[in-house]
Structure 1
């Protein structure tokens, strides 16, 4: 491997299927501007991240693709990377999903994706079953290694599983200490679905929480590092986003401390049902 890239982060690998595992700690690309994506992704890869979470909605997959091309030219092997994307709401439907995937794959410059998700269920559209059928075809055709969903509620999962030939490997949902999604995570555990956490820091709102601040002081780390460590110890797949190089590196520096049982219990008590983003029932 080229010396420009450090060793991969020592994050656990979460098994999604018999053949596919995902690094538990990744790097999120929401709101990364396309012109800055190449530099930011390059910094993340240089810091040891190998799991990138993207989506067509983010409008930056061409920039991410430039970063991936440069990284692979510089010594990173494709098989050492884990790349996720998502089909947007307006592209739901069988044929339109296949077209959307082709556009994403072209922008990223990849022969295949590691994980492809339905971004939101949008039940009023009535299209997520045929959208998922398109994902199953992409999987069978070898263009996607694993497939799943995002923002699905238990009722959506139940209906999907009545029709799906390939169970979803993951459900990516908003999840953080103020919204711990315990009931949904229990459903995931029963169904063998991995939990991915978006907005893991509640879009920064957690950073002034006094309980988290006290725990951070105890360990001599930042609140963001405490929350990321909490996600890892809870078994969530998590991908914080950052733009500044020092924050990108700091978010990955969470493997030399552990939260105690008392600290985990204190964080468990922070649940307040707070959403920093939309509720799935409100997205059409």
Structure 2
């Protein structure tokens, strides 16, 4: 397992993981099995690999993929990364970025209602593998599926991946509601509108997105759990209460982890402005305006 090297109380994080079998900074209290080895050398860690699992902020892909040219021929990958990029034509899937950077490697995706600390504690949950190659989808299902982490599969990489990214944007809106003290009715309305705009966005920019994808764990289930828990909702609640800037709140509440919902909202807004679609997506637009343009959080209900 490649781990970005950093210091924790004067010690290398990788050394701590390999001796204590615990990531004391990002996942304290959860023990790893001894066969999980943390390696700070990315090229060494992936040498000869036949399967790769990408779990990192997508902003760092450009600098790490060139260092991974020592994988085995025919290596396959799966992405757990939640985010989007864009160009003049519209949004770009992170899985496609990995595929291109890794010489055409087949890339599946895994998304679902999976709050990390609950998964680590073996609380029962489900997740969804989105695949383009059915044999590879079956491989990833076999690798991840266990009694407490049940894996469904669907042939829809774009739909599964975009659900995983856009739910973080909707969760920012849900967090605004919590910070303002609004009740369950209001929050339910934001979630419903968010689901509607998510479906519309997916189908507008990617042909072949399946309706049933939105009823898998990656869709409605992930949207609900993220809007009631998780870092994006929590940070947006603090923002709506006036507890600081996004950077200040991130440093205070996330212990070095990155907030993805606000970044994704910004990327989505670039696409909407480029295509002049702001009025087609009033919730996504308002979430961005509150986050970056000084709109009052209370305007989340003025769509």
TM-score scaled to structure 2, two decimals?
0.29
- By relative contact order (CA 8 Å, sep 6+), the higher-ranking structure is 1
TM-score scaled to structure 1, two decimals?
0.30
Q: Which has the larger radius of gyration?
A: 2
